[in-house]
A = this chain, B = another copy of it.
Amino acid sequence: MRAELIMVGTELLLGEIVDTNAIYLAGELADLGIDVFYKSTVGDNFKRACGVLTTALSRSDLVIMSGGLGPTDDDLTREVVAEVLQCPLQENSEVLRDIEDWFTERYGQLSMPPHNRRQALFPQGSQVLANSVGTAPGFFLAKEDKVVIALPGVSLELKTMFSTQAVPLLLKQSSGERLVTKNLHFVGIGESGLEEILADILQTQTNPSLALYASGGTVRVRMAVKASSQAEGFQLMAPVEEEIRRRTKEYLYGTDGQSFEAVIAERLLTKKLTLALAESCTGGLIGHRLTNVPGSSGFLERGFVVYSNRAKVEELGVATATLDMFGAVSAETAQEMAEGVRSKAGTDLGLAVTGIAGPGGGTESKPVGLVYISLSSAGDTIVQRHLWKGTREQVKHRAALMALRLLWQATR
């Protein structure tokens, strides 16, 4: 099945916003094994939108439109589909009642604005796609060998409607075979490093097929296989996944949908380990990331942002002599920060970062991007030295990621 996407909305042409709907739909269709060959964006203009839909239907079997289902005169998707497919609009009384109820529930005495009546119009022969999170219903129209699906432009509504309403209808239309995917997430190794370790598998493996994606310091391997069910798909992947895991265990931190901080949080909670943070150049970013995980108060006892030397001495007990002799950005200071924060907070672990995020503050012997990370535990204290290139925010991001990685490695 050849699919294509049409995003309707003048605002999408102005470059002011990211078209997340297209990204979402393309990804979901790939997972269903449906190839997307074209994606078009057109403004809220009847003639131009009709032209784009006509072109799309001339070359694709499935056309998914997003946007243009609202109540205003600008919202033209219903009219465009009715015109191009020659399926006149008809009012659906059940949907009209639903919309009226929606307004009554929310605004009490206030009745539905007359404009919203338009949202109960559908091209003849459509199946209505209910909108459980908004007022604009969508529709699914199969005519001859073509399918048109119209979804609302609001992301949450589009995603909910597509996954719960449109996918079941699409699966009925297709052969029943679908693409099953699984992602493996890695940290502490680059795309090319992972490519080297998995070279023979990547080159010879076709079912599942494998692809690598790098972003923000982590790498993802996506396995994809065509199968009649998810269970069958996972079964086909199992031997390949096992071999990948065998070769990469020091880097692999999780599968689909698991964030790195959530994996770490689970480990700390399971092992009943408490943690205290001492952040200098990361400025609170490690604390921010860990506290994004619900329940992080179960292991994170406290944290310090010790931006000044005075704070390092007063809060963490770093020796003035150490700062004088080795400087604030040094292995010695990092170690004293980690040991100091652990001892002060009375936690099992103390994690510390000190570095030069730039753009100022670098010297020849201590350039911008130099970062020391230290983890103190009952047994011992580890110190790591890193040197990265990049902007201030990139250095902060990388330093936080590598500090989290040290924590992850130490809590296996």
Contact = CB atoms under 8 A, between A and B. Distances in A.
A29 B14 CA distance: 8
Given A277-B305, A288-B284, A311-B302, A36 B24 contact: no
Given A40-B38, A59-B51, A305-B302, A287 B279 contact: yes
Contacts of A15: 22-30, 36
Nearest to A302: B311
A349 interface: no
Nearest to A13: B36
A213 interface: yes
B27 A37 contact: no
A118 to B, nearest CB: 23
A295 B283 CA distance: 12
Contacts of A37: 13, 42-43, 45, 48
Interface size on A, as a range, is 35 or more
Interface in A216-267: none
A39 B36 contact: no
Q: Classify the secondary structure of A's interface with B.
A: mixed
Contacts of A300: 283, 305, 307
A14 B295 CA distance: 35
A22 B294 CA distance: 36
Interface string A381-412: 00000000000110010000000000000000
A283 B291 contact: yes
Given A22-B15, A39-B40, A40-B39, A305 B308 contact: no
Contacts of A213: 16
A304 interface: yes
Interface of A: 12-20, 22-30, 36-43, 45, 48, 51-52, 55, 59, 213, 277, 279, 281-288, 290-292, 294-297, 300-308, 310-311, 315, 345, 357-361, 392-393, 396
Given A279-B284, A304-B305, 11 more contacts: A12-B39, A13-B37, A13-B38, A15-B28, A19-B22, A38-B52, A55-B55, A283-B284, A284-B305, A287-B287, A292-B392
